[in-house]
Amino acid sequence: MPAWLKDAVFYEIYPQSFKDTNSDGIGDLEGIIEKLDYVKSLGCNALWLNPVYDSPFKDAGYDVRDYKKVAPRYGTNEDLVRLFEEAHKKGIKVLLDLVPGHTSEEHEWFKKSCEADRNEFSDRYIWTNGAFCGIGGHPYIGGEAERDGCYMLNFFKCQPALNYGVLNKTEEWQTPCDSEAAIDTREAMKDVMRFWLDKGCDGFRVDMADSLVKEDDDKKSATGRIWTNIREMLDKDYPEAALVSEWCNPECALKYGFHADFYLDHHGNGYNVLFRDNETEGPDNSYFNKNCDEDPMRFLDDYLGRYNNSKEYGYISFITCNHDTPRCTKTMTPDELKIAYSFIFTMPGVPFLYYGDEIGMKYLDYVRTKEGGFQRTGSRSPMQWDKSLDNFGFSDAPFDKLYIPVDKDENAPSVKTCEEDENSLIHTVRDIIALRHKYEDLQADAEFKVVYAKKGERIFVYKRGDLLIAVNPGLKEVSAEIPAQDLKTNLIFKLGSADISSGNICLGAQSFAIWQ
């Protein structure tokens, strides 16, 4: 386990929308370098960059055309190496986004794989043995190549699936997961990882990490063997490199070699019921919605099993949002977010802050899809630096040339306006992250214990190490009787009102507190 992960707080940057320095309307690596001091000022000591590789951008860069080349719109390989170097000078680690499951249809591997004559890339992707032979249960394309076969897709038409084999072969054209072809694909991906690790990258967030081997079993054991093999390589040659999985199943992901696994917004899971239980008709029953009467039990019923079954292997990563998820501002106010984010940054594991969430950037449901974003596009709008400047200081390009339009609301927040307002969300984010760095009991592997949580009651009290934490997201005062051995008297952080007396914790409306 890389030691630095224990105190890591990540900042996710969607490169297209962070800072444009060459006035083409698209963010770039130079812009990220320019804003590293800002990232550090938040207390974030690690970055995750969405894909910066060469791409046709039919899926915002997740359709990779060349894993070893930076997309020209972002800069050059040398610029990325300089970003690593400048970040490291400031004590900031940098993870790249690894996309191991598919490439762009324009990747040289795939072009060679499409040829009729056999070559070293013929089995790099998943092909049937006939152009009129479909692939049951999977999306596929036929008739687009001189090769007599159909190829499997991951998601869009532009994303042919790489071949890591199948667990149980049932078709003549399938290759086993221990075949030479499947192993060659794994080794090719390890080569990509070594390429960037040798240039200063600190690890990878892995896109759809559980999807490599097709027809895998429920525990993804064959895909797990691939990641176990990759982790062995990292432990031997790059022991300080981190692997974070997009899996949302820490019991599997962490046992198979990942250091952390995202707690993603899947309908009805513990993360979802905290922040986004508003996806169906009816009331918003999210725990952190001030107007509902939800208790923390639905969250704990899902989370505790995940946590207890995986904590000895690695970390669960809570997120404020990400590039695939509607920003919480779609349904939550800044005051609600102060409490929600304070909770996120005091939970076990390695947390991730999505760019702009610290100022309460809005989900823009009116913007048109961009580069395959569709409904996700509203969470990918340009960072709002300074309201007094054109395009919020994101870019000097004309408004109609921006990658995605900036928020047109006259009340839209910016970094500058929020920093000038002592009651704004950004100050709460900075304060709670600073507290996390100060107290080891708030860091990734400190013990987590539920002290008070009951069906029908809003208050939730828990311990991290020797710290006592209480949250009340609702609009009514609440109280809880706490065992004497768990009581603390030194209040070190407070939102709203909080009091401990005679064995009880009392929290006012919309309050959060930490005692030492």
What is the spatial distance between Cα 152 and Cα 154, in angstroms, rounded to a whole number?
7
Tokens of 175: 């290759």
Confidence at residue 279, expressed as pLDDT on a 0 to 100 scale: 75
The per-residue pLDDT for 278 is: 87
Sign of the CA dihedral 29, 32, 36, 39?
negative
Q: Are 359 and 38 in contact (CB under 8 A)?
A: no
Q: Give whole-number Cα distances, 456 to 298, 478, 484, in Å.
A: 11, 12, 23
Which pLDDT belongs to residue 489? 83
Annotated domain spans of the chain: 3-100+182-438, 102-163, 447-515
Split at pLDDT 50, 70, 90, the class of 280 is confident
CATH fold match for the domains 102-163 and 447-515: no
pLDDT tens digits along 288-308: 999 999 999 999 999 999 999
What pLDDT, on the 0 to 100 scale, is given for residue 467?
97
Among 88, 82, 99, 98, which Cα is nearest to 4's? 88
Q: Is the pLDDT of residue 90 over 80?
A: yes
Residue-wise pLDDT for 343-393, tens only, equals 999 999 999 999 999 999 999 999 999 999 999 999 999 999 999 999 999
Residue 486 identity (one-letter amino acid): D
CATH architecture of the domain formed by 102-163: Alpha-Beta Complex (3.90)
Q: What is the DSSP letter of 35?
A: T
Residue 502 pLDDT level (bands cut at 50, 70, 90): confident
Structure tokens at 118: 């056999």
Architecture of the domain delimited by 447-515: Sandwich (2.60)
Confidence of residue 282 (pLDDT cuts 50, 70, 90): confident
Rounded mean pLDDT, 120-143: 95
Q: Is the pLDDT of residue 4 over 80?
A: yes
pLDDT tens digits for 24-82?
999 999 999 999 999 999 999 999 999 999 999 999 999 999 999 999 999 999 999 99
Buried/exposed 202-212: b ≥16 CB within 10 Å, e otherwise: bbbbbbbbbbb
CA distance 47 to 242: 12
**How many CB atoms neighbour CB 269 within 10 A?**
17
Q: What is the mean pLDDT of residues 205-233?
A: 97
Q: Given a cut of 90, is residue 484 above it in pLDDT?
A: no
Residue 52 burial (CB count, 10 A):
25
What are the tens digits of pLDDT across the range 399-414?
999 999 999 999 999 9
Q: Is the pLDDT of residue 149 over 90?
A: yes
Which contiguous run of DSSP H or E holds residue 84? Answer: helix 77-89
CATH code, residues 3-100+182-438: 3.20.20.80
How far apart are alpha carbons 506 and 173 in whole angstroms? Answer: 65
Strand segments (E) across 180-309? 203-206, 242-245, 260-262
- State the average pLDDT for the chain: 97
Helix axes 180-197 and 221-237, enclosed angle (nearest 10): 40
Q: So what's the pLDDT on residue 488?
A: 79
- Distance, CA of 400 to CA of 394 (rounded, Å): 13
Q: What is the mean pLDDT of residues 196-225?
A: 97
